[in-house]
Amino acid sequence: MHIDGKIEDGYVIICDEDHSFVANHLGLAVECTHCGRLALGVDLAELLFSSYEREHSTRNDAMETSTVTISR
């Protein structure tokens, strides 16, 4: 299970790529409304934030390695 994004109604959560559902909030545990699978809210949040960190560090690395020097 992982958080796909935030919408007005809550968090869009993908459960094993088969189905998705909206959770109003991340509590102690989140239960899939289709199959009953459980995940800890803190684990879902950690996955989301670690993916943001990877994305931003990749962008920063790309910006640092693509510095161009122009001389006249």
Question: What are the pLDDT digits (tens) for 25-64?
Answer: 888 999 999 999 999 999 999 998 887 777 777 555 555 5
Residues of the domain holding 39: 2-65
Total domains present in the chain: 1
Burial 29-53 (b: 16+ CB within 10 A, else e): ebebeeeeeebebeebeeebeeeee
Q: Is the pTM of this model over 0.75?
A: no
pLDDT at 70 over 60: no
With respect to residue 31, please indicate whether it lies within any of the assigned structural domains.
Answer: yes
With respect to residue 28, please indicate whether it lies within any of the assigned structural domains.
Answer: yes
With respect to residue 40, please indicate whether it lies within any of the assigned structural domains.
Answer: yes
Q: Give me the pLDDT at residue 49, please.
A: 86
Q: Give me the pLDDT at residue 38, please.
A: 94
